[in-house]
Amino acid sequence: MDFSLNEEQEMFRGSVRKYLDGGGQTKIAREMAKNNTNLLTKTWKGLAQLGCMGITVKEEYGGAELTTVDQVPVLEELGRALLPGLYLETVAFAAPMIEKFGTTEQKEKYLPGIADGSRTISLAWLEPGKCFNLNDIQMTAKFDGDSMILNGSKTLVPEGNLADTYLVLVRSESETDGKGISFVLVDRNDDGVDYRVLQAMDETRHLTEVNFKNVIVSNSRILGELHRGEDAIEEGLLYLNAALTSIMVGGMDKIVEMCAEYAKIRVQFGQPIGRFQAIKHRIADMKLDLETARSLSYYAVWALDEKAEDAAVAVNSARAFITEAYLRLAGHGIQIHGGIGVTEEIDCHLYLKRAQYYQTYLGNSRLYREKAATALNW
């Protein structure tokens, strides 16, 4: 079974890398840490012009109607550049969710904007003081004829200050067994919606708290079946986490590259540190982690595309392994670079903070191991 990318996919990767290199690679993330979003906005438009936004969206909505595997080169390059923004939540999560569960009206409203890069969507799930358990969702939706009234708060919403639309998980029915949940599409400009940017360890991401106070939206904003959002979220998470593994592999690839290059130029005791066995062995271990992660990621994406029976196992186990491997490599990167590894000038600390961000993004490794075990009927 050959999981290598084909010639066209590698050529597309080359175009994306060349574009991001031209934009300064991690410079975009560094500008976000200074609350300057101009460079991210410019880069987002450039990626849209390259055709990165509508890869999997159907042609009738302005996309290329390709496979999830075709999206892998873009995701890996975004991971190498530590690009902030909502590509993961918009393109890899919201787009397939709307394609599968959306009404014709919702598809016509949201998918063309996603495909041309003019609309971004963020996922609003976690609530203050709660965890990623559907029973913990307390934000309410009360129905009044053809409309519903939303009240509640969401926290750690990725780039909630930039998103045009939130995909919000709300409690639409009183249940305690993970049911009674609905997805609602709420626009950032809807009356009653306000937000504040939170202070985060990874300053390159703008995590926000979003408050919904008596927000009135039409019932037509419900995505999927009413009160059955738990089914949609499980499927959506497979797409999101498969894409996330590709992003993390991209970051790991860059870390290994940085360490190998530094080991050649850093001289200690009259010779490059790459000649010391301690450094050689550590970089070899890092490369082994990287290639294992890449294989797991490719298989997870392929299994999802092919609707393989073990798709859920593949995605959840890949997510669990790669999350920890990324964090491990980021730590090694700091160690190999020594003192300068923790300075502002070198990128090592940015990758470590991003790895720590993903460590608990939508749940930790233990949660995804449990999901993999459940999928195996263990």
Q: Tell me, rounded to whole angstroms, the distance of Cα 161 from its chain centroid.
A: 17
Coil/strand/helix, residue 295: helix
The amino acid occupying position 329 is: L
Closest CA to 166 of 188, 136, 138, 134: 188
**β-pair partners for 142:** 149
Spatial separation of the C-alpha atoms in residues 167 and 160, rounded to whole Å: 11
For the stretch 223-270, pLDDT in tens is 999 999 888 899 999 999 999 999 999 999 999 999 999 999 999 999
State the Cα–Cα distance between residues 171 and 152, nearest whole angstrom.
10
Residue 15, token pair as written in the block? 């175009």
Tokens of 209: 């708290």
User: pLDDT by residue for the chain (378 residues), tens digit each?
Assistant: 566 788 999 999 999 999 999 988 899 999 999 999 999 999 999 999 999 999 999 999 999 999 999 999 999 999 999 999 999 999 999 999 999 999 999 999 999 999 999 999 999 999 999 999 999 999 999 999 999 999 999 999 999 999 999 999 999 988 767 788 999 999 999 999 999 999 999 999 999 999 999 999 999 999 999 999 888 899 999 999 999 999 999 999 999 999 999 999 999 999 999 999 999 999 999 999 999 999 999 999 999 999 999 999 999 999 999 999 999 999 999 999 998 988 989 999 999 999 999 999 999 999 999 999 999 988
Residue 329 in tokens: 């490599």
- Write the CA distances from 301 to 86, 248, 291, integer angstroms: 19, 13, 15
Task: Please tell me the predicted confidence (pLDDT) of residue 3.
Answer: 65
- Maximum distance among all alpha carbons in the chain? 79
DSSP secondary structure letters along 279-331: HHHHHHHHHHHHHHHHHHHHHHHHHHHTT-TTHHHHHHHHHHHHHHHHHHHHH
Would you say 330 and 256 are in contact if contact means Cβ atoms under 8 Å apart? no
CA dist 23 and 17 (Å) reads 10
Chain segment 102-128, per-residue pLDDT in tens: 999 999 999 999 999 999 999 999 999
SS3 call for 225: coil
Mutual angle of helices 311-337 and 229-265, in 10-degree steps: 30
Token pair listed for 117: 């890069």
